[in-house]
């Protein structure tokens, strides 16, 4: 795989702004789901290789609850939301269930659906691009296995992925998660071009 492309400060700032808007709308939607005030921290945004993004989330053998959402349209991509075990347990606990139950898995899938939907809406709103998320897939597995699945689905993936690391705070309870935007080839340049940064 070739080196990760480099982007200037203005380009990264534009990507950061998309992430901020997505986080804000996701917090509002999650608040309605759990019936409590929700704050999602300003995401730390990086454009890195998939291997580096995986390391940011945790060890390959760590168990995660991962929601994978394929995206079609002007910038085909895969969106991956990865909750470490402890974060998944906290979120499910707030909804009166456990992460290892059928109800818990359904809740995590819906949370993933809300978060990925918020980010894709933010991207579409800022760029005017047609972007449509497909139904999300939930997997509870080791992080390394999840990343292998992402690679198998991300046909002609770009050399870099957009990685967001942030935390959800719900009335004093905090849990972190990793969010990956795995673009098809040329998707990130297309996003930047749509923002007038070609």
The string of pLDDT tens digits covering residues 167-196 is 778 877 777 777 887 777 677 778 778 877
Long-range contacts of 23-26 (CB under 8 A, 24+ apart): 23/118, 23/166, 25/118, 25/121, 25/122, 26/114, 26/115, 26/118, 26/119
Residue 158's pLDDT band (boundaries 50, 70, 90)?
low
Q: What residues contact residue 151 under an 8 Å CB cut-off, 6+ apart?
A: 50, 157
pTM summary value: 0.78
Sketch the domain layout of the chain as residue ranges. Answer: 9-194
Domain spanning 9-194: which CATH class is it, in words?
Answer: alpha beta
Residue 48's pLDDT band (boundaries 50, 70, 90)?
confident
pLDDT at 101 over 90: yes
């Amino acid at each position: 795989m070739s080196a990760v492309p480099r982007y200037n400060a203005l380009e990264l700032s534009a990507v950061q702004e998309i992430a901020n808007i997505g986080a804000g709308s996701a917090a509002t939607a999650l608040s309605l789901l759990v019936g409590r005030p929700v704050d999602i921290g300003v995401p730390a945004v990086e454009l890195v290789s998939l291997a580096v993004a995986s390391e940011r989330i945790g060890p390959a053998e760590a168990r995660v609850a991962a929601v994978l959402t394929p995206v079609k349209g002007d910038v085909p991509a895969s969106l991956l939301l990865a909750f470490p075990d402890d974060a998944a347990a906290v979120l499910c606990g707030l909804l009166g269930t456990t992460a290892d139950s059928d109800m818990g898995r359904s809740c995590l899938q819906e949370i993933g659906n809300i978060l990925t939907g918020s980010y894709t809406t933010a991207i579409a709103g800022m760029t005017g691009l047609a972007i449509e998320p497909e139904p999300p897939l939930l997997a509870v597995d080791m992080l390394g296995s999840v990343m292998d699945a992402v690679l198998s689905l991300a046909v002609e993936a770009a050399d870099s992925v957009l990685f967001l690391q942030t935390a959800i705070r719900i009335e004093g309870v905090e849990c972190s998660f990793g969010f990956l935007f795995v673009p098809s080839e040329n998707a990130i340049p297309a996003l930047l071009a749509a923002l007038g940064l070609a």
